[in-house]
Structure 1
Amino acid sequence: MAIYAVGDIQGCYAELQLLLAQMRFDPAQDRLWLVGDLVNRGPGSLEVLRLVKSLGDSAITVLGNHDLHLLAVAEGAAELHRTDTLDGILSAPDRGELLAWLRQQRLLYAEGDYVLVHAGLLPQWGVKQAASLAREVESALRSDDYATFLARMYGNAPHTWDDGLAGYKRLRVIVNAFTRMRICTPQGEMEFKFKGEVEHIPAGFLPWFDVPERKSRKATVIFGHWSALGLKVTPNVIALDTGCLWGGPMTAIRLDDRQLFQVSCNSPVAKHW
């Protein structure tokens, strides 16, 4: 059995199919770990959701900010953006089934020495605490009142973690760290406007994974979300968003030997964005 971790897909279905073929992925034996953002901006979001759902236990995905955005739009808790490509899902005959499945997905997955998350972990969080906090959000998403949570999850404040936080403020910080964070201060204050390259990070901030003595540093964190960061493979960090949507490749890594697999993203829609 091989485990393949795959970077942000964002509706680039054709490229995902090519990547799976290149890896010779066998759902009967192998497993896919997906860093989230399955949907949006690319032309095949509906097909991506259907494919990943069809893989059952052979695929594990964590939720990204675009996946949560889809759920919020579907519940009327957010409006479609000009660049969204979610109409195919929202008008699909199996819309309800797909969205119900998406709500059941994790915010974080940990196995052995690996942690799978969309954006990152705050430096104050060890893996055990992070997994517990992820379950709080997952419970809200799976509850009967999930629409209220989706309506209240948006916003940049609070931008720092406090163990005493409660209610939707607490859930919002957890969501923002796991799905939106790229940089923070050494004390864990998050900044959400920055999307650029490392050398242009504002003074006082640094990549979340470079915070000295962060509590999750002994684990290998697999994440995406930061296309301007690109591919980064170190003993304890694997960043896989290589910007397929923006004309870069789609990237996967086989965890047992760290062999990389990449396909070019030539979709006219991807180039347009």
Structure 2
Amino acid sequence: MSRYAVGDLQGCLKPLQCLLAEVGFQPEQDQLWLVGDLVNRGPDSLETLRYLYSIRSSLRITLGNHDLHCLALARGATDRGRHPSLDALLNAPDCGELMDWLQQQALVLRSDDGRYLMSHAGIPPAWSSDQAISLSSEIETVLQSPQADDFFNEMYGDEPRRWSDKLSGLPRLRAITNHLTRMRVCNADGELELQFKGALADIPQGYRPWFEWQKPNARKETLIFGHWAALECQTGRDDIIALDSGCVWGREMTMLDMDSGELYRCTCDA
């Protein structure tokens, strides 16, 4: 069995299929890890989800902020920020089936061999790996419960900006979600600046990339994340791997061979 991890798809199906063909991916025996943001903005959100659903037994997925937003739109929890690229998906006859499947996915995953830990935006340095998995499970539990609509209604917003174990209720769930799906930079106290989306050179004073606050090799696992296209996959670290190379912006889609460490890239024309 071979294992591959791919950065943000955002409805770009052809580059994904290009990468899978390049490595000879075989769904019946290989694993494909997807770092989230499967849909939105790109040309083929509906066909991307349909394809992924068809090979779902070979997938390991962590949800991204765009995936959660799509779920909120589909469930009627919001009507704002609906990108036209989602119209075909949200109006499709199989939308309900696809959304039910998407809603069952995790926010943090650890590989069976303990080598990798994956989430969409990263793992806050103050959280242990076990804590991240535990907090992810809180979101997964509510997503699969009758309280899911309440969660989607209250999911939006930047507060609270700093994690505390004392948080409870919907603010706690929002904080977990923001850290795992929207985080890019934070300050020394762990306070997030969630409106920043730019390049390293433009980070506001007092803030640094979340991964720079974590000591090298502080975890047993290598972290895999996406979300930050302007980072251009540059972490300067071997133990923290960024995979969002801006495919939906016309740049590249990046795939990691999780066993050899080799990177593959396909040029995108989204």
Alignment TM-score, normalising by the size of structure 2: 0.95
CA offset digits 1:31-58 (Å, max 9, x no partner):
0000000000001001111111111221
CA distance, structure 2, for counterparts of residue 25 and residue 216 of structure 1? 32
Does residue 247 of structure 2 align to residue 244 of structure 1? yes
Partner of 1:265 in structure 2?
268
User: Where does 1:101-120 land on structure 2 (aligned, <5 Å)?
Assistant: 101-111=101-111, 112-120=114-122
Contact 2:216 2:239 in 1 (8 A): no
Contact 2:124 2:210 in 1 (8 A): yes
Contact 1:183 1:191 in 2 (8 A): yes
Contact 1:218 1:236 in 2 (8 A): no
Q: State the number of aligned residues.
A: 267
Once the two structures are aligned, what percentage of the paired residues are identical? 50
Partner of 1:225 in structure 2?
227
Partner of 2:28 in structure 1?
28
- What is the identity, as a one-letter code, of the residue corresponding to 1:5? A
- What is the identity, as a one-letter code, of the residue corresponding to 1:249? E
Aligned partner of 1:200 among 184, 199, 202: 202
Gaps of 5+ in 2: none
CA offset digits 1:94-144 (Å, max 9, x no partner):
111101001100111012121110001112100000000000001110102
Contact 2:11 2:45 in 1 (8 A): yes
Does residue 54 of structure 2 align to residue 54 of structure 1? yes
Cα offset, 1:65, TM superposition: 0.4
Distance change >3 Å, CA 179–CA 214, structure 1 → 2: farther
Distance change >3 Å, CA 179–CA 205, structure 1 → 2: same
Partner of 1:13 in structure 2?
13
Contact 1:119 1:224 in 2 (8 A): yes
C-alpha RMSD over aligned residues: 1.5
Q: 3-state SS of the aligned residue for 1:5?
A: strand
- What is the identity, as a one-letter code, of the residue corresponding to 1:242? S
CA distance, structure 1, for counterparts of residue 214 and residue 28 of structure 2? 41
Cα offset, 1:81, TM superposition: 2.5
Cα offset, 1:145, TM superposition: 2.3
Cα offset, 1:213, TM superposition: 4.2
Partner of 1:254 in structure 2?
257
Gaps of 5+ in 1: none
Cα offset, 1:215, TM superposition: 9.7
Contact 1:119 1:177 in 2 (8 A): yes
Distance change >3 Å, CA 145–CA 212, structure 1 → 2: closer
User: Where does 1:102-251 land on structure 2 (aligned, <5 Å)?
Assistant: 102-111=102-111, 112-213=114-215, 217-232=219-234, 234-251=237-254
Cα offset, 1:17, TM superposition: 1.4
